[in-house]
Structures are given as C-alpha cells and as structure tokens.
Amino acid sequence: MGARENILARIRKAQGRAGAAPTEAEMAAVREAIARHEVGPQPPFAHAPDRLAQFAKECDRTGTTLATVASERDVPAEVARYLAANGLERSLAGWGAFAGLDWAGAGIAFHNRPAAADDRTGLTGCFCAIAETGTVLLLSSPAAPKVTALLPETHVCVVRKERLLDTMEDSFALLRREVGDPPRAVFYVSGPSRTADIEQTIVIGAHGPYRVHVILI
Amino acid sequence: MQIQSMFFKKRASEKLDDAILQGNMKRAKGKFVDGRAKAVAEFGVWEEVRTHAAKVRDRALANLDAYLVEFERNAVRRGAVVHWAEDAEEACAIIAGIAAKNGVRKVTKSKSMVSEEVNLNERLEAAGVQVVETDLGEYILQLAHEPPSHIVAPAVHKSKEQVAELFVRAHGKPRLTEIPAMTREAREALRDHFLTADMGISGSNFVIAETGTTLTVTNEGNADMVTTLPRIHVVITGIEKVIGTLEDFATLIRLLPRSAIGQSITNYLTLTTGVKMPGDTDGPEQMHIVLVDAGRTKLVGSDLQEMLRCIRCGACMNHCPVYQNVGGHAYGWVYPGPMGSILTPVYVGLENAGDLPNAATFCGECAVACPVKIPLPDLMRKLREQQFDRKLRPWSERMVIAAWGFTATRPALYALLSRIGARVARWMGGSEGLIHWLPGIDGWTKGRDMPAPSGRTFREMYRQKRSGASHGR
Amino acid sequence: MKVGLFVTCLVDLSRPGIGFAALKLLEGAGCEVVVPEAQTCCGQPGYNSGGREIAKALARKVLAEFRDCDYVVAPSGSCSGQMKVATVHDLFQGEPDLPEFEKLAAKWYELSQFLVEVLKVERVPGKFAGTVTYHDSCSGLRELGVKMQPRYLLQMAGASIAEMDGAERCCGFGGTFSIKLGEISTRMCENKCESIRATRAGAIVGGDLGCLLNIEGRLRRTGDKDTKVLHFAQVIAGEE
C-alpha cells in the first residue's frame, strides 16, 4: 500500500470509520457541507455605512495611497502627478487594458507588457477591492500578469468604485459568479511589501513594492 | 532539525543567562502582545469569530480523510500533482525526486515550518541543489546556520548588530547599522535568486478542499516571488491544514494576522490553484503538493486532536511567560512554546521530549490567546498524565506524588505529618522565618527563600479554639 | 446559611492566619461556618503532575466532606478552580458522580467572589491606611473571573491600590513547576518582583498563598525585608 492509502486508513481507523477510504456517502456529505459556503460572523466595520470611507481608512493604515479621478481618461494625468510627486521616472509597464489611454499626452512611456525586474513602476487594474481591509484583489490571466504588481518598486492599481465590496466573502461570491473556479493566482494586496524580521522594526519594501497607489474611478 | 528537547532545562538555563537574547525577547514580547491586544480590542466580535473558526477547523478534522480526498480531486483537476508522505524521509525523497527529474539547480523557499520538521534543506543540499530561504528572518538564519526560534518571526532572537555581522560576512559589503539599509541589502541579494531559481518551495497556511487551492500569507511578498516566478512550484504542508471553503479561509484569516502580529491583514494573501493557465505569462508549469503526515495521524482521534486545529499564529508562545523568558531555541525542536510542548512529544516521541509538557505553570494565557480555542494547558496535562502512567518522570518525583497522595487521603496521618512538618520548618526558618536552603526543593531555594510556616496548622489551632470556646461556656 | 470553609492545604500548613481571617469575615457576615476537620487538599498538585487517579480520589474526599453545606468557600482561586472547573470539565466527565460534582461546583466560591457576589458585603472589619499593589493569580483570574472583587474589598478597608505593570502575568509559581523548573520559575518571579518594586507600594496583596510564598521568597532573597506580602483576607479582616 502507498502512503496515501496508509494515511487515509489510519485517519479512518482513529476516528472509528470502517474501510480504507471515504465512502461515496461521506464524500457527498462533505461536498454538501462545502456547497453551503457558510459565512462566519464578520466584524461590524466590515459593513460600514460609508464603504469608501472604510476603504480609505484601511488603505491609510496599510500604507496604500489613494486618489480619485472622474473617468478612466483621467488616469494618465493622475499617474503623471503621482510619479512626479514621488520623484519617479515617467515610464511604466502596464496591463493591456490601459494601453489605449493617452499616455504620451501625459508624458509617460507606457510599455504594454508584463513588468520585468528592472521596471520601476507597474500599472494594473483589479478584479475588485475590499473595504474591510483596504485590499485590492488581482486575478491572474493572460491579460493580467501578476508580476506587474510584484516586481516593480511602485505598484499603481486602478479600481472602479462599483467594484468596491465590503468583505472577502463578497469577493468570493463575485469570483464564483463571474469567473467560476479561481484562476492560478488570486492575489490580495493590502499595502506595500514590508518586513519586521529584524528587531520587530517595520520596514517598508521587503521584496515587493515600496509604494502602492490606488486610483479610484 | 535535530531534536534537543530532552535538554530543555539545561538549554533554558543557558538562555536565561544570555543577556543579548534577554534583551531581544523583552523587546519582542511588548510588540507581539500589545499589538494583538489592540487588534482584538478594535475587532468587536472576536469571541464569535473564534468560536466559528474552531468549528470550521473541527468540521474538517472530524472527516479529515474525506476533506483531503476532495482537496486532492480539485487540485488534480487543476493540473497539480498531489503527493502523500507518511514521514520526513518520504517527504524529502519526493521533493528531491522532483528536483532531480527536472534538473533543478536552485530552489527559492518561502517559510515553511513543515520543511523544518522534515529537514528538507539539508536533504536538497546533499543532492547538490542550492536552497535559498527568502523570508528575511529565515534568510538571516540560513546565513547563521541556525534553526528558527519562533514560527512567525524566526530570527526574533537576533539583534540588529548580530544581523549586521552576518551580512558583512555573506555579502562582503561594509557593515550596516540601520535596519532599513539591511533590509534593502537583503532585498538586492535575494532578487537575483528569485529570478533565476528553477523551483519554488512554499508552505501553505491552509489548503482549501472546495477549489484544490493552496495559499501563502506574507508581508514581504517573498512567497509571491517563490510561487510565481520559477517554472516549478512545490507546496509542502501538513495533512491537518485542510479546510472546506473559501469562506472558511475568510474566517481564519481574520484571526491569523491579528493573533500573530496585531495586523488586520497581511500585505499579501495569495491563493494558488493549479498550474498556469493557457496564455498566462507568469506562474509555474508544474505544481506539486506534498501532503505530510509525520505524526499528525497520531493526534487524529486521540484526546489531543484539538491540537490539529492550530493555525500557526504563534500567539501561544508570544503570550507564554516561559517562552518569553527562555526563547524558542530552548525548546529544542521546530515548534516552541505551548504548541511545541504538545506537538514535539507527539511528533518525535514523549520519551524524547523531556520536560516540555512540564514547561508551563498552567497560567492559561495561551488558551486565552489561541484564536481557535485550543485548550493548550489541558492538552499538556494529558501528556503529563501519559508521562506519569508510562513512568517517564524521574522515580523520585513519582514517589513524592504517590506518597503525598497516600497521605492526603488519610486525614489522621496527614494531620500528624503536617503538624510535625510545620514545626520542623518553623524551626528551620529561624528568627527571620525564612528557609534559605532545603534539600529536595533546591529548585526553589536556589533563587528564593522559602517563607517558613508559622509553626502550627490551622486545623489544630481551630480545634483548640473550638474546645477552648466550649470549655469557657 | 451553612458555609463550609475549605482552608486549603497550604494555608493549613503555612499561614493559618489566612484561614482565621476568612473565618472571621464569613462569621462576621452572619454565616454559620463549618470546617470539616478531615479536609486535606483539593488534589491539584496530583492533577497537574499527571496523577489523575490521585486527583480524583481527593476530589471525592472533598465532595464527601462538604456535601451538606449550602456553600463552600476557599481563600484560593487555584483550589477553587480545581473544584469548580477541573472536576466537572475533565476529571469526572462521563462518570456517574458528575452530577454530584456539578452541584458542588455550583455552590463553591472563591472567597472574594463569595463576599462580593453572594453576601454582597458593604463593610469589612479591617482598616488599612497604606498603598497596596495586587497580583492577579492565574487560576482565579482566568478560570473564575476574579479581578475586581478583591480590589473592591481592599478599597472598602481603606487601602489604595497602585496597579503594577503586568498584574495579570504569572508569578512563576505553578505548583511543582516552581521546584521542577526552578530557574525559570525564579526568573518569572523576579519579573513580577520588578513590577511590584516599581509601584513603591508598601504591600503586595494576592488571593493565593502559593503565589504569595513565591513572591515573598524572592523579595526576601533579594534583600527586601520591608514590603509586606499579604492575602487580601488578612487585610480586609484586619488580621494582617
């Protein structure tokens, strides 16, 4: 017998179930329990009356900066402003969804490709954002390379206000509804990379970005 | 990791005299304990979520085999290969085999305590594979050739001066004095490894049966590099980590970072499911998931099963006054603190665990802090019972308990002996009323005086008082 | 109201004054107090050393001795935890005498809780003019919720309380732990004593004699002959 069979058999014996593997009825019961997708208790602030204010508060806490623009057309100007304000070079690698915007007009070199290790800024969209924790959620896909949010020192993320949800559970419900199975990477980003491994002193910028800037449309 | 748990008392004693360690522990204690307290206070429904979390964990553990099979089915459906390992040797052989088959020369790793359990790095290095730990704390310890002393903050026992010294030797650059500069230097040193590794190894805080998902929880983002950039992703995790649904994960992740470091969420949470999809520009071509037993089935169905709920937040050790004073290395194996005092005896054998089940005053702080309501002191007591029943405690100790039990159930004998004892001890205490040294309890009298009894027992005085009162009537 | 006084083995052996203080408080509040003379120990030292059967034998003995009482009161959170929590949640789970122990647990009180919650005392005989600091013993605090009751009673006696840093942190006693792992125990106690010294209070007061002997032993060893170490019963009974 292999390890799998031995382990399953040991578990069953220890818990007083006969046989070497779960029965069809047991599997059905487990699937049924799973299919209920029972939601546990959530903290009161997860359903804040002002969802945007809750999101802003949590972004502030995690170190994500926030700007609001009226429409997608205004994104390049906001990016230009942000890059200038932080003394960053006016060049970025971005998701294809944003390639059609007027980047040249904002004085920015836009590279429509996944970020490489030496790109300074990556521009992404997101699947949704979560107010409870000040989080943006990225789903990997051919059009949404994860590395663009990970390798550059600055990550700019465009969020549409109507995609701002209360909780992580809401994001799972939306995922099931719009996508089905989770893709390879479901990536929750809440502020810039950090570490406290030396003397429990918080340092921003461990391996991922030093800066996360969210542009709300 | 070499088991040193039988030397707990001796190692603890050394740690108590280590001034640098004592300073580092004192600093860490404040940050962990205060941080968690603040996060819990502002959360609002801590107890409700804790209760639900314990239920969620118990539900999967009660039908562990079926949940694992369901997880496996969904992971395989998404292109992952699921391996099962009964013990450390098997786990290492599986992963070394994957590395060999794919010509892997360099591995980047994000923190995995299971890999510490099975000595994975040693095994891979022996096979000629370069292994690079990428969690900053683990990286520091790899340079120092030391095991972690904490499951969340592995290098908590190191000062920045000690880290600076290690970096000078490893990086060949001028000595740094500031923590941000050290972090930057480590970032630069590790970047190249991330980009050139053939294989990434991560743990998985939970595995989700519903979707066949594994996941990582980090602040640094290192796990994302490890699980995204190399062409092969290997997950090594324990069989007890399975949970039912994404919603269950949402519950648990409200508790984990708050309990661990007082953060409402970590900067990165990543659910990784299967291999990269057609057209994806990043993500691994192969995903292997190694489900490790290595002692866990010994807990299943036993009176210690609640221990399997553990979500590895480290709150029990952060709140343990013993851990706070001796640090993690004293415990002599992968898991320090109260959780280790239960896991070590079970995973490596009670006979190899020495004093660990006794390394607690049962103050109860760990049970209060545990986000999944594991009754840690009760479980430690059950191990003490096993030690007692299997005669694993010293003969003298067992004799004292037996003699005390014999006496305490015989009131007349007890009264006589306690009267004698009270008088003798009173005499020993002299005019100060303090006993400075007493054979048999020198563990006490080495650092403390024993306040001497006042000379007569309550019960004899009470009897005398009562008879005096009735005579006077 | 017939109240059984469980003196505790440590008080019996080492500090009978605490037992008499408890007696005075209970009688002063109008209770008819009985002290079963055959009582010895609640069994906790055996329980926590792995000697489960010894612990059960002693618990049965305690049950037999106090069965007739309306209430049982002990000047200890630790022994009370043993009889209120360990017996019903662990030792006698699934055994025929569980209902008997549930009854005992329901009528068993730690002294300060009994005075405040059952007797609802509004005055105490003791008068204490100085400043004290209070150590919360672990079992009473975490198993039974003893926290405000002794402070309330101490203030009733006129004491002012200077809270120490980490009042709820274990003093390192832990029964046999204090001997088996004496060095760690001593360090934990030293941490506690540092907190006590920092308050500059004239007395450290607590509700469990084990912790108090531990703290007193360390204070005296480190040269402090002056700080009084008292059970709250002694202070509020005016028997310190």
- Strand pairing category for B232-238 and B199-202: parallel
Residue C108 near residue C80, CB atoms below 8 Å: yes
Chain B neighbours among A 6-65 (CB < 8 Å)? 6-8, 10-17, 21-22, 26-27, 29-31, 33-34, 37-45, 58, 61-62
Q: What interhelical angle do A3-14 and B64-77 show, nearest 10?
A: 150
What SS3 state is found at B315?
Answer: helix
Return the number of other C-beta atoms located less than 10 Å from residue B116's C-beta: 20
| C-alpha closest to that of B264 among C218, C156, A200, A62 | A62
The pLDDT score that the predictor gives to residue B473 is 44
CATH number of this structure's domain C2-118: 3.40.50
The pLDDT score that the predictor gives to residue B254 is 98
Q: Chain B closest CA to A98's CA: distance in Å?
A: 17
In the chain, the amino acid numbered C95 is E
Which chain B residues are closer than 8 Å to C9 by Cβ?
A: 408, 418
Is the dihedral angle over the CA atoms B102, B107, B111, B117 positive or is it negative?
A: positive
Residue B394 near residue B347, CB atoms below 8 Å: no
For B250, which of A6, A169, A184 is closest by C-beta distance? Answer: A169
Which chain B residues are closer than 8 Å to A140 by Cβ?
A: 276-277, 280, 282-283
Which chain C residues are closer than 8 Å to B368 by Cβ?
A: 142
| Each residue's pLDDT tens digit, B205-221 | 999 999 999 999 999 99
CA A197 from centre of chain: 23
Beta strands in chain A (DSSP E): 64-68, 91-94, 109-112, 121-124, 128-130, 135-139, 154-159, 164-165, 185-189, 194-195, 203-204, 211-216
Nearest CA in chain B to A8: B65
The pLDDT score that the predictor gives to residue B470 is 67
Touching subunits for chain B (3+ Cβ pairs under 8 A): A, C
Superfamily of domain B43-298: NagB/RpiA/CoA transferase-like (3.40.50.10420)
Q: Chain B closest CA to A84's CA: distance in Å?
A: 23
C-alpha B98/C-alpha B92 separation (Å) is: 10
Contact (CB<8Å) C16/B454: yes
Instruction: Tell me the pLDDT band of C143, cut-offs 50, 70 and 90.
Output: very high
Which chain C residues are closer than 8 Å to B462 by Cβ?
A: 16, 19-20, 23, 35, 37
Name the helix (H) or strand (E) containing A22.
none
| C-alpha closest to that of B111 among B28, B1, B223 | B223
Nearest CA in chain B to A23: B66
The fold for domain A44-216 equals Rossmann fold (3.40.50)
Domain C131-237 has CATH 3.40.50: yes
The pLDDT score that the predictor gives to residue B2 is 80
Q: How far is CA B206 from CA A43, B50, B253, B271, C215, in A?
A: 22, 17, 10, 10, 44
Top residue of B458, B465, B466 to mutate, by most chain C CBs within 10 Å, is B458
Chain B neighbours among A 54-83 (CB < 8 Å)? 58, 61-62
Contact (CB<8Å) B401/C142: no
Per domain, the residue ranges of chain C are: 2-118, 131-237
Residue C134 near residue C169, CB atoms below 8 Å: no
Q: Does A170 touch chain B (CB under 8 A)?
A: no
Residue numbers of chain B with a pLDDT score lower than 70: 470-473
HSE value, Cβ hemisphere, 13 Å, CA-based, for B194: 27
For residue A199, pLDDT beyond 70: yes
Which residues lie closer than 8 Å to B1 by C-beta, 6 or more apart?
B116, B117, B119, B147, B333, B334
Q: Chain B closest CA to A175's CA: distance in Å?
A: 11
Per domain, the residue ranges of chain A are: 3-35, 44-216
Rounded average pLDDT over C207-223: 98
Which chain B residues are closer than 8 Å to C173 by Cβ?
A: 361
* Angle formed at CA C165 by CA C159 and CA C171, multiple of 5 degrees: 90
- Hey, what are B208's tokens? 């989700």
Are C2-118 and C131-237 equal in CATH topology?
A: yes
HSE value, Cβ hemisphere, 13 Å, CA-based, for B460: 17
For C50, which of B385, B418, B421 is closest by C-beta distance? Answer: B385
Nearest CA in chain B to A169: B247
Residue C226 burial by CB count (10 A; 0-12/13-18/19+): exposed, middle or buried?
Answer: exposed
Which chain A residues are closer than 8 Å to B91 by Cβ?
A: none
For B225, which of A22, A150, A191 is closest by C-beta distance? Answer: A150
Q: Chain B closest CA to C48's CA: distance in Å?
A: 6
C-alpha B435/C-alpha B431 separation (Å) is: 10
Residue C5 near residue C34, CB atoms below 8 Å: yes
Q: Does C7 touch chain B (CB under 8 A)?
A: yes
**What ipTM goes with this model?**
0.97
Q: What interhelical angle do B64-77 and B46-62 show, nearest 10?
A: 90
Rounded average pLDDT over A115-130: 97
| C-alpha closest to that of B10 among B354, B347, B344, B383 | B354
Contact (CB<8Å) B404/C178: no
Rounded average pLDDT over C122-127: 96
For residue A92, pLDDT beyond 60: yes
| C-alpha closest to that of B325 among B334, B315, B317 | B317
The torsion of the CA quartet B13, B17, B18, B23, rounded to 10 degrees, works out to: 110
C-alpha C194/C-alpha A15 separation (Å) is: 49
Which chain B residues are closer than 8 Å to A43 by Cβ?
A: 43-45, 49, 254
The pLDDT score that the predictor gives to residue B469 is 74
Nearest CA in chain B to A44: B44
What SS3 state is found at B214?
Answer: strand
Which residues lie closer than 8 Å to B260 by C-beta, 6 or more apart?
B32, B36, B152, B313, B314, B315
Per domain, the residue ranges of chain B are: 43-298, 396-472
Strands, sheet with B80-85, edge to edge from the N-terminal-most edge strand = B80-85, B286-292, B232-238, B199-202, B106-109, B130-133
The pLDDT score that the predictor gives to residue A1 is 63
Rounded average pLDDT over A62-89: 97
